[in-house]
A and B are shown apart, each in its own frame.
Chain A
Amino acid sequence: MDSAIRLRGVTKTFGDMRAVDSLDLTVPTGGLYGFIGPNGAGKTTTIRMIMSILFPDSGEVAVLGRASALQAKDRIGYLPEERGLYRKMKVRPFLRYVGRLKGIDGPGLDRRISGWLERVGLPGIESKRCDELSKGMSQKVQFVSAVLHEPELLILDEPFSGLDPVSMRMLRSLILEEHARGTTILFSTHVMPQAEEICEHVVMVHKGRKVLDDSLPGIRSRFDPRSVQFEPLDPAADTRMLAAMQEVEDVAQGERGLEILLRTDTDPALAMRRIMAAVPAARIELSRPRLEDVFIGLVTDSASAADTDSLRAQLRDAATTGATA
């Protein structure tokens, strides 16, 4: 099967700032890809180049088999990071306008609008003016404007920014529904836990460069942790012998209990059984690799400790709205 998006060596500079640096990216048809990285990593710039809103200084872009998204705009749905509505327009005329710009017209258009508004839980708002909508409502209308023409490829730039938890959950299920319908989806976010919940595949960028491009299971096995979190049943128990066990490389005091690092060639299941036998456990669990840790691990060589902390804060903060990169 052809790839829906294919970038080869794409580079874009603004003045003396290299926003995107020889980026390769392939999204196969039907894929659900997360495009993640902190603010300013080059996500929006890349997406705009995919959409032919910006053009790369060098490199190649192919979208849905065409050399430019301009030739396939009717088949692409795009929810930009900087999005809004005409304040004085009513919802139905606005959606009609966007629908016509995407090449759908006729009686089917109105049916689709009503159908979609119902799906996102906003039946009957067609005749409201856009400036009367709440923030969550306008976000939904914007999402409808991106999917109204039932695109083959859906590109969502920071779709969750500024959403409350309920709307976020709703949007997540809408995205998954679209994916189930066969739509290829690429969405960007700077909030890694969100990506972890939805994506099949993750592409990480940092300072315009790609630092990781792998499926979630692939990442999990590649960055398989050898770290066990352990809380003894008796807080006063003597845990010194753990460090002496042959499976254990190191023991450190963590925030909640001990962080036990296993040796590379150890079977974690066996090691955990032996630890529990040595000291009765209130809680013992194998650490799952979080994308955030993976990301920090990948970029940490080039970052100081202070940078690492601020990066970590940024990647967790769902409320931070992304700056234009």
Chain B
Amino acid sequence: MKRIMQIALRDFVAVAMTKGFIIGLLIFPLILVLSGTLLPRLLDGSDFQIEGGYAIIDPTGAVLPELRLALDPEAIAERRFEQRRAALEQIPDSVRDVAQVDMARSMFEQLGPAPDVRLVELPPDADIEAEKAWLNGETDGLRHTALIVIHDDAVAAPGGELEFGTYDLYVAPNLDDRDLGFIHSSVQEAIVAARVARQSLDREAVEAVLRVSPPASITVGPDGEQRTLPGFNFLLPMGFMMLLFMGIMTGSGTMLTSTIEEKSSRVVEVLLSAVSPMQLMAGKLLGGVAISLVTMALYIGVGLVVLTSFSLFGLLDPWLIFYLMIFFLIGFFMVGSLMLAIGSAVNEMSEAQQLQMPLMLILMTPWLLWPVISRDPDSTLSIVASFLPLINVFGMLLRMASTQPPPLWQVWLSIGIGAASVVGAVWVAAKVFRIGLLMHGKPPNLRTLLRWVRMA
């Protein structure tokens, strides 16, 4: 046992003390934080300069004046403000606390750079085909970006019915999505305003009548109440699956590379003079599991801190973390021992990739199954997936984190199947490991590996 610990310790230190591992460990939470804070700012459209020349053919004569109003910078700022307010209503309190700063910003700041739009009015009987050519030109350095053709019945439906017409839009090539969205929203706004005026309605009254702000639902649990977080119940299973996947892959990946290194540097038989292949394998598995546990502890810790700081911790069943660890250990020892077998059989990393393929394909299936299982955790597919060796660790965890957790006997049956497959995988891997370590030269194919299993 002392020797196994020595091997585990060396393998752990050799990996955990490298810059690459530490950077790799921190880079994932860093990307999460960056994409959470930086990305919305980068994608925020308010800094985008809207510009261009719009030509409009308006046979109704009512849309054009409204469009001029809609393109007024202050009106644009108001629309953007309204959109943001509606979006913020969907976000939980704590997140909104941070975002309130934005709400307090002045209308002018919300606007971003003022749009530089010039409207060109064309006669109602203008030839559309001829005017399309205008789109590829420019005036005073301002590109002609849009030709807007309002339909005759866009404002007043014929015969007083409520079947309104709409508009056609022709745009210049290579137009930014944000330009396009701006044109649509402005024209729609103008047409609605023209219709409301035509019906002699009070625009504010109509909007007030139509608007019902959706309240955030309250989840009432046995331990208290909590604002419901939309998407949480869908994303939680995925979070758990990702933790499980990363946990398994980090440690087993490092074991694969260290085994290949030991074999290619010919140090392995020196080690075998002191320990048996089984001790070596056990030591490497322990070292690998330690690497994985460090990784998972960090990520779970970060996750819990985030949940707690947004006071969402109550939404998480702590037992899930217990089961996550059990399924992690099953998945790790299965994948890890097979990775060790692969590492022992090959001479270099590129050869390993070929042999890894089947294993990787199996490990990819849970990602395909995730949406199916988390939407419908009791379907036949979900139940089968939670009992198939190797897939079951992901499948069962997905079901447990879903809205309809499986009965406990199914969980423990899955754990039992997992434990049995670990025994099987370690048994097969040990045989390949023992022979593979001493084999140099041509890498074996799957058939040779099977022969080794029978041989040892």
Q: Is B84 part of the contact surface with A, judged by Cβ < 8 Å?
A: no
Q: How far is the CA of A59 from the CA of B271 in the complex (A)?
A: 26
Q: Assess whether B438 is interfacial by the CB under 8 Å rule.
A: yes
Partner of B440, one of A79, A82, A87, A88: A82
Q: Which 3 A-B pairs have the closest CB atoms?
A: A84-B266, A78-B273, A80-B269
Q: What bracket does the count of chain B residues touching chain A fall in?
A: 20 to 34
Most buried by B among A48, A77, A86, A89: A86
* Contact of A51 with B273 in the complex, beta carbons under 8 Å: yes
Which residues of A59-83 are within 8 A (CB) of B? Answer: 70, 73, 76-83
- Chosen A-B contacts, 7 in total, with CB atoms closer than 8 Å, are A53-B277, A76-B273, A82-B440, A85-B265, A98-B274, A101-B3, A101-B271
Q: How far is the CB of A155 from chain B (nearest CB, A)?
A: 8
Contact A53 B270 (CB under 8 A): no
Is B6 engaged at the interface, CB distance under 8 Å to the other chain?
yes
Extra 8 A-B pairs, beta carbons < 8 Å, given A80-B270, A97-B6: A48-B438, A80-B269, A83-B267, A84-B270, A86-B267, A87-B265, A88-B14, A101-B271
CA of A89 to CA of B271, assembled, Å: 14
Known A-B contacts A87-B261, A97-B10, A100-B6; A52 and B276 likewise in contact (beta carbons under 8 Å) = yes
**Cα distance A60–B442 when bound, in Å?**
32
Interface SS majority for chain B: helix
Query: When the two chains form their complex, are residues A83 and B271 in contact, meaning their CB atoms are under 8 A apart?
Result: no
Contacts of B269 in A (CB 8 A): 53, 80-83
User: Is B267 within 8 A of A84, CB to CB?
Assistant: yes
Cα of A97 to Cα of B283 in the assembled complex, Å: 13
Q: Which residues of B contact A98 (CB under 8 A)?
A: 270-271, 274
Q: Which B residues are within 8 Å of any A CB, using their own CB?
A: 3, 6-7, 10, 14, 261-262, 265-277, 438, 440, 451
Most chain A CB atoms below 10 A, which of B262, B265, B273, B451: B273
Collect the chain B residues with CB atoms within 8 Å of residue A85's CB: 265, 267, 270
A184 contacts the other chain (Cβ, under 8 Å)? Answer: no
Query: Do B274 and A82 have beta carbons less than 8 Å apart?
Result: no
A146 within 8 A of B: yes
Complex: A218 Cα to B438 Cα, angstroms = 36
Please name the residue on chain A nearest to B280 by beta carbon.
A101
Q: How large is the interface on A (under 10, 10 to 19, 20 to 34, 35 or more residues)?
A: 20 to 34
Distance in angstroms between the alpha carbons of A84 and B271 in the assembled complex: 10
CB of A198, distance to nearest CB on chain B (Å): 21
Contact with B along A122-157 (1 / 0, CB 8 A): 000000000000000000001001100000000000
Tell whether A324 pairs with B273 under 8 Å between CB atoms, given A84-B267, A85-B267, A86-B267.
Answer: no
Is A102 positioned at the interface, with any CB of B under 8 Å from its CB? Answer: yes
On chain B, the residues within 8 Å of A101 by CB distance are 3, 6-7, 271, 274-275
Cα(A81)–Cα(B10), bound, Å: 24
Find out whether the CB atom of B440 lies under 8 angstroms from the CB atom of A324. yes
The answer for the CA separation of A73 and B268 in the assembled complex, in Å, is 15
Contacting residue for B438 out of A145, A146, A324, CB 8 A: A324
| Chain B residue nearest in CB terms to A100 | B6
How far apart sit A319 and B6, CA to CA, in the bound complex (Å)?
36
- Which residues in B have their C-beta under 8 angstroms from that of A15? 451
A142 touches B273 (CB 8 A): no
In the bound complex, CA of A86 to CA of B259 (Å): 11
What CA separation (Å) do A80 and B265 show in the bound complex?
A: 13
Chain A residues with CB under 8 A of B276:
52, 70
Give the CA-CA distance A70 to B280 in the complex, in Å. Answer: 13
Nearest residue in A to B437 (C-beta to C-beta)?
A53
List chain A residues, Cβ under 8 A from B268: 82
Q: Which residues of B contact A78 (CB under 8 A)?
A: 273
Residues of B with C-beta under 8 A to A146: 270, 273
Question: How far is it, in angstroms, between the C-alpha of A100 and the C-alpha of B272 when the chains are bound?
Answer: 13
In the assembled complex, how far is the CB of residue A19 from the closest CB belonging to chain B, in whole angstroms? 12
| Contact for B14 among A81, A89, A142, CB less than 8 A | A89
Q: Mark A95-112, 1 if CB is under 8 A from B, else 0.
A: 001101110000000000
- Are the C-beta atoms of A73 and B273 separated by less than 8 Å? yes
Could you tell me the distance between the alpha carbons of A130 and B14 in the complex, rounded to whole angstroms?
14
Cα A70 to Cα B434 with chains together (Å)? 14
Binary flags per residue of A38-57, CB closer than 8 Å to B gives 1, else 0: 00000000001001111000
Give the most central of B3, B6, B262, B274: most A CB within 10 Å.
B274
**B272 — which chain A residues lie within 8 A by C-beta?**
51, 53, 80
Closest residue of A by beta carbon distance from B451: A15
CB–CB B438/A73 < 8 A = no
CA A51 – CA B276 in complex, angstroms? 9
Residues of the A chain whose Cβ atoms lie less than 8 Å from the Cβ of B271: 98, 101
For the complex, what is the distance from the CA of A54 to the CA of B435, rounded to whole Å? Answer: 8
Nearest-neighbour CB distance to chain B for A12, whole angstroms, equals: 11
